[in-house]
Structure 1
Amino acid sequence: MTAIQLGVALPTMNEISTLGPDGIATAARHAETAGLDSVAAADVLIGDGTVALEPITVLSVAAAVTERVGLEFGVLSLPTRPVAMLAAQIQTLQYLSGNRVRLGVGIGGFPGSPFWQAVGAPSTGRGRRTDEALKVLPGLIAGEPTELPEAPGRPVVTLSPGTPVPPVLIGGGDSDAVLRRTITYGDGWLPSALTAAEASAAGQRLRDLAAERGRPMPGIHLGLHAVLGEGPEVRSAREAMAKQLSEFFAMPPEKVAEVTITGGPAQIAERIAAYAEAGVTNLGLGLDGPGYLRQLDLMAEARALLN
């Protein structure tokens, strides 16, 4: 069975309204104290009034109050961000955090939203724009003179101080385009809402593609939603999560149950072990239940059962 790392999504959406401005720092410190391996922030800026904190700022706060945990983006929408500015931000975060960044990137999931319109992000050609950014990001972060052929005048940019290039994780589903982008540019693949069987099958396709191109097998960083614990309030949250995910992913309820994690420590540990057996190297949970910090503790208890 593959050794698996366990991470948690920081409370960047509705839950931050309850936790308050100190919630990110408190959650990041708690995750590190609980022995988790990473904390993550998603890029879900829509601009329609949906609560969503900006992820680079969020992980900068997490870096400032922790010493060990990995800082994972799950994922940054490359079409919404000028590549040179993004590289400067990631390089700075990598430098100040002691090289703890895991750079999850993708084509973005909200084209046409008010935020995308406001920043001039394209609704079409997102795959090509993402590939062009992935070609130049490593050199920019490393501090190498890097030509930006997509920018007016094709400037050569050198950012300093250069840092080790963080692991690049390619976000997306199990389509051929995403898996090939992962092999070409990535150190890991970052999907979400897959069953253990689906993760195993996609992992075999990745392994075959890697062998074809003489590349190492990427890690599989899977993100799942979770409502942990028991009791009436937890059951209500579990039902709300199932309804929301069923609508968002157009999944039947029985499939939603397969791609979410619920219950107490023993049940959580059993599900984590199944994903580890399927070849998942990193499992990140988005906590949708009541009592964020209590859910973190339940994750830690489940982790202890696996050791």
Structure 2
Amino acid sequence: MTRTTRITIGVFAPALTLDPAAAPGETAEAARLAEELGFESLWTSDLLTGRCPMLDPLLVLGSAAAVTTRLRLGTAALVPALHPLPGLAQRLATLQYLSGGRLLVGVDAGDSAWARWRGGLKDPTAWRATGNPFEERDARLDEMLSRLPGAMSGEPGRLDPAQPELRLTVPAEVPPLLVGGENEAALERAVRYGDHWFPALASPEWLVEGVDRLREHAEALGRPVPGVTVAQPFGLGDDVERPGGPNPTRTAANAFGLTEERADAMVVEGSPEQAAERIVEFASAGADRIVFSTYDRSWRKQYELLAEAVALLP
């Protein structure tokens, strides 16, 4: 039977946020299980500070690439403004080459709703520690995105006029760019530089409005409308371990400035049947891909329940 719901599903690798005592081999185990269950992609975050120490995203994805053959590998989301361009371009091109072209590069300015959900780089102090002013994050991101594809493809370039030109020679194609954020500047950035717009913590109703705004920016710039990838928290089954008490979505609404209606609608919970219905709602709202992150420590069980939901899609 041909599936009529055209949407791809990815999952986040287990984060130390879930279990600070997690075994080092869990990333590889999660990658193998995600591929075995048929998910399209495995994702990880780029967070320097937060609720707990975070792992380097490209090293995490490198370990996943080594034990899989089909699974795509994504960052959600990389913060290019915190990285020198030549080194970042080389690391991305290397991972793209070693993985056989399976990389998906999600980026944002480091202050998106997803970064706040994961406890990320919203603190200006963390930015100053890396030598990058927090106030310059948007301008620096635009500069990096305008030059990153060229740097990865081997075009000579420099960080500033005082530095010598560098030219990478890694034989890898430029991976798709997914641009996060939800304000007007982020939408324009997604149209200008991205293959996909990559908002997080959306509800289907909010996403419909966002996609309409995305189309308006694309029309104004005379460019194609990017695809749409969303990142959503989930926890399926009757015995889900919820952080922050029985109603974490209201906590998220208060912390991140979301409306309670959007917060209530952004989490995918219940049975696999109910999750399948919610996935269809997101697809109908304009999503081409959903990247799911579980807040339950039993991530293996959650992967399996989510795979059951995907198998039920019409």
Q: Is the shorter-chain TM-score for this pair beyond 0.5, marking a shared fold?
A: yes
Q: 2:81 aligns with which of 69, 79, 82?
A: 79
Amino acid of the residue matched to residue 192 of structure 1?
A
Code of the residue aligned with 2:171 in structure 1: it is G
**Is the counterpart of residue 165 in structure 1 residue 174 in structure 2?**
yes
The 5 Å alignment of 1:96-135 reads: 96-109=98-111, 110-112=121-123, 115-135=126-146
Structure 2 CA distance for aligned equivalents of residues 76 and 243 of structure 1: 27
Choose from 78, 87, 90 the match for 1:88: 90
- CA displacement, residues 11-31 of structure 1 (integer Å, 9 cap, x when unaligned): 123224343111111111111
How far did 1:240 drift? Answer: 5.8
TM-score of the aligned structures, taking structure 2 as reference length? 0.89
> Could you tell me which amino acid in structure 1 is paired with residue 139 of structure 2?
R
Contact 2:20 2:52 in 1 (8 A): no
The within-5 A match list for 1:1-307 is: 3-46=6-49, 50-109=52-111, 110-112=121-123, 115-145=126-156, 147-148=157-158, 150-173=159-182, 175-231=183-239, 233-234=240-241, 239=246, 241-242=248-249, 244-251=251-258, 253-307=260-314
Please list the CA deviations of residues 89-127 of structure 1 after superposition, one character each: whole Å capped at 9, or x if unmatched. 000000000011111111112254554333212111111
CA distance in 2, matches of 1:114, 1:13: 22
* Alpha-carbon distance in 2 for matches of 1:263, 1:238: 17
The AA in structure 2 aligned to 1:17 is: P
Q: CA 1:248 to 1:235, structure 2 compared with 1: closer, same or farther past 3 Å?
A: closer
CA distance in 2, matches of 1:26, 1:4: 25
What is the CA-CA distance between 1:151 and the residue it aligns to? 2.4
Counterpart Cα distance in 2 of 1:236 and 1:157: 46
What is the TM-score normalised by the length of structure 1? 0.91
Instruction: Give, as a single letter, the amino acid of the residue that structure 2 aligns with 1:133.
Output: M
Alpha-carbon distance in structure 2 between the residues aligned to 1:130 and 1:5: 27
The residue matched to 1:15 in structure 2 has which SS?
Answer: coil
Instruction: Report the 3-state secondary structure (helix = DSSP H, G, I; strand = E; otherwise coil) of the residue aligned with 1:283.
Output: strand
Task: Sort the Cα spacing of 1:229 and 1:237 in 2 relative to 1 into closer, same or farther, 3 A.
Answer: farther
Alignment CA distance shift 1:208-1:243 (3 Å): closer
Q: Which runs of 5+ in 1 are unaligned?
A: none
Contact kept in structure 1, 2:124 and 2:133, CA below 8 Å? no
Report the AA paired with residue 39 of structure 1.
L
Alignment check: 8 A CA contact 1:241 1:288 kept = no
Q: Which stretch of the first structure deviates more once superposed, 122-131 or 250-259?
A: 250-259
CA distance 1:164–1:255, change in 2 (3 Å): same
Describe the SS at the equivalent of 1:217: coil
SS at match of 1:43: coil
Aligned mates of 2:26, 2:84 — CA distance in 1: 29
Which structure has greater helix proportion?
A: 1
Deviation string 1:150-205 (CA, Å, 9 cap, x unpaired) is 425253221012311100111112x1100111111111111111111211121122
**What root-mean-square deviation, in Å, do the aligned CA atoms of Structure 1 and Structure 2 show?**
2.0
Q: Where do 5+ consecutive residues of structure 2 fail to align?
A: 112-120
Would the alpha carbon gap of residues 129 and 242 (structure 1) be closer, same or farther in structure 2, given more than 3 Å must change? Answer: same
CA drift of 1:298 comes to 0.6
